[in-house]
Amino acid sequence: MAFPKDFYWGGATAANQLEGAWNEDGKGIACPDICTGGSANTSKRITPEIKEGIFYPSHQAIDHYHRYKEDIKLFAEMGFKMYRFSISWTRIFPNGDEKEPNEKGLQFYDRLIDECLKYNIEPMITISHYEVPFGLTKKFNAWVSREMIDCYLNYCRAIFTRYKGKVKYWLTFNEINSATTPVGGFLNQGILNEIKEMEFMNQVDIPQNRFQGLHHQFVASALAVKLAHEIDENYQVGCMNIMATSYPLTCKPADVLYNQKQSQIMNWFCSDVQCRGKYPNYIHRYFKENNIEIHMKDNDEQILKEGCVDFYTCSYYMSNCQTSDPEKQILGKGNLLGGVPNPYLKASDWGWQIDPEGLRFSLNEIWDRYQLPVFVVENGLGAYDKIEEDGSIQDDYRINYLKSHIEQMHEAILDGVNLKGYTPWGCIDLVSASTGEMRKRYGFIYVEKYDDGSGDFSRRKKKSFYWYKKLIETNGEDL
Ligand code: BG6
């Protein structure tokens, strides 16, 4: 089973989940910096002021800021061809709205990018990965306000100019479609409708704000695509979506239709705008029925049309089912996406239902819809790992998860999908975005850091490290 010759094997991370050094070298406070830890059953909390004596997981994370050389070396040892990471907006613009960038922040990414290039690892950079500057939340409730577009573009200009000639692939927003769900309001958009302490999973939600925020993000993304191409014609700019594959719970036509409607909003709305350059027709009825009114400026439609992305990317972890029966619409445990559990699938310890074939199904749908190159830029199993007496970590469950998804990606390629690369999530253990935990581990590399704040940050190769290394060496032949 060989993959295309230039297939990008790699891994993915996000700044706030691994860098730490939350207030070093001029970095400002980002939204995740005010979130406490949680667990599979207890929501993390948003505390608008940083409080003494509380553990904030992002503050140290896994200390990658000081250990990036060791980490990139380990990635290179596995044979990575691509490393997807994000730039922390608040390292470059601490409050988000300064005119000039913070030189020390830029220098950190000079070093990080150079380190990747030293090993011939192609960087793929997420410009905004779940960490809006908290200064912008306080100032104008972040993406609710149109002023965010200029702040974002100023940030884009600084990094597009600085890293010109070294970077080719950019993603405008991580999982932009998370903002079609209430949790995405703060997570993705930095929107806090009331500045008060509250549960992360139970925020004050105003759908109008989220969808107006998305409009601003679409315009910002389109302008960023244009700007990138002006600065460097070799730049390729992509969108990034959560692919929340869903099936009708039964073949009852009402369930099939209900699933189609849910999927249009969750899976297709954002990428339809970013890939096709205009709002899809189906969204207008949804807006009407939910009292959402999008305020646009005169040339916004033109901007969207001229700022289509060059490629499509998604994360894929799980699937769910949809039913038109309100009594059966219970929330899926522990994930952002809701839906009804699929009776044919098993779930992870966090209730995420494991569905490799769903990946093949969705890749076909994506390719048929957009005909753009596709990357799977996140996929993986969050699991409890145990260090054995001999010091090893026997994570066969993770290997099985990844293997089954890679098999299905290969099937999708045989189906004709133009799949370019695969960067599994959390290639090194890092802080969980939904729960703030360290114990929910995804990595090929174990990090000695624990949820009570203890641990010396040392790195250790898991069994999956050696497995993935061999897989890359043989370009997928040796699964
Ligand atoms: C995606 C995010 O939703 O899933 C990542 O882009 C996140 O930031 C990943 O970490 C896995 O989710 P979690 O909640 O297990 O960390």
Task: Write the ipTM.
Answer: 0.99
| 18 close to ligand 1 (CB < 6 Angstrom) | no
CA 44 to ligand 1 centroid distance, Å: 14
Q: What is the pLDDT of residue 336?
A: 56
| 151 close to ligand 1 (CB < 6 Angstrom) | no
- Neighbouring-strand partners of residue 425: 12
Query: Which atom, in ligand 1's list, is nearest to the CA of 426?
Result: 10
CA 315 to ligand 1 centroid distance, Å: 9
- In this predicted structure, the answer to whether residue 333 has a pLDDT above a threshold of 60 is no
Any idea what DSSP says for residue 339? -
CA-CA distance, 419 to 367, in Å (whole number)? 9
When pLDDT is averaged across residues 135-140 and rounded to a whole number, the result is: 97
CA-CA distance, 347 to 349, in Å (whole number)? 7
User: What backbone torsions phi and psi does residue 353 show, to the nearest 5 degrees?
Assistant: -80, 130
CA 432 to ligand 1 centroid distance, Å: 6
DSSP-derived 3-state class of residue 33: helix
**Residues in contact with 125: Cβ distance below 8 Å, sequence separation at least 6, in sequence order:** 84, 85, 86, 87, 159, 163, 167, 169, 170, 171
| 308 close to ligand 1 (CB < 6 Angstrom) | no
- In this predicted structure, the answer to whether residue 329 has a pLDDT above a threshold of 80 is no
Query: Which atom, in ligand 1's list, is nearest to the CA of 434?
Result: 14
Mean pLDDT estimate for the chain: 96
Best mutation site among 432, 437, 438 for ligand 1, i.e. most ligand atoms within 8 A of its Cβ?
Answer: 432
Query: Which atom, in ligand 1's list, is nearest to the CA of 431?
Result: 16
Tally of residues, the chain: 479
**Residue nearest atom 16 of ligand 1, based on CA coordinates:** 432
HEC string for 403-462? HHHHHHHHHHHHHCCCEEEECCECCECCCCCCCCCCCCECCCEEECCCCCCCCCCCEEEC
Q: If you compute the radius of gyration of the chain from its CA atoms, what whole number of angstroms results? A: 21
CA 289 to ligand 1 centroid distance, Å: 31
Catalytic residues: 378
Q: Cα(first)–Cα(last) distance of the chain, in Å?
A: 8
Query: Which atom, in ligand 1's list, is nearest to the CA of 432?
Result: 16
CA-CA distance, 295 to 189, in Å (whole number)? 17
CA-CA distance, 26 to 451, in Å (whole number)? 26
Q: What is the pLDDT of residue 331?
A: 55
CA 431 to ligand 1 centroid distance, Å: 9
* Alpha carbon 166 to chain centroid, angstroms: 22
What structural domains does the chain harbor? 8-473 (3.20.20.80)
| 130 close to ligand 1 (CB < 6 Angstrom) | yes
Instruction: Tell me the whole-structure pTM to 2 decimals.
Output: 0.98
pLDDT in tens, 46-80: 999 999 999 999 999 999 999 999 999 999 999 99
> Which tokens belong to 352?
């995420």
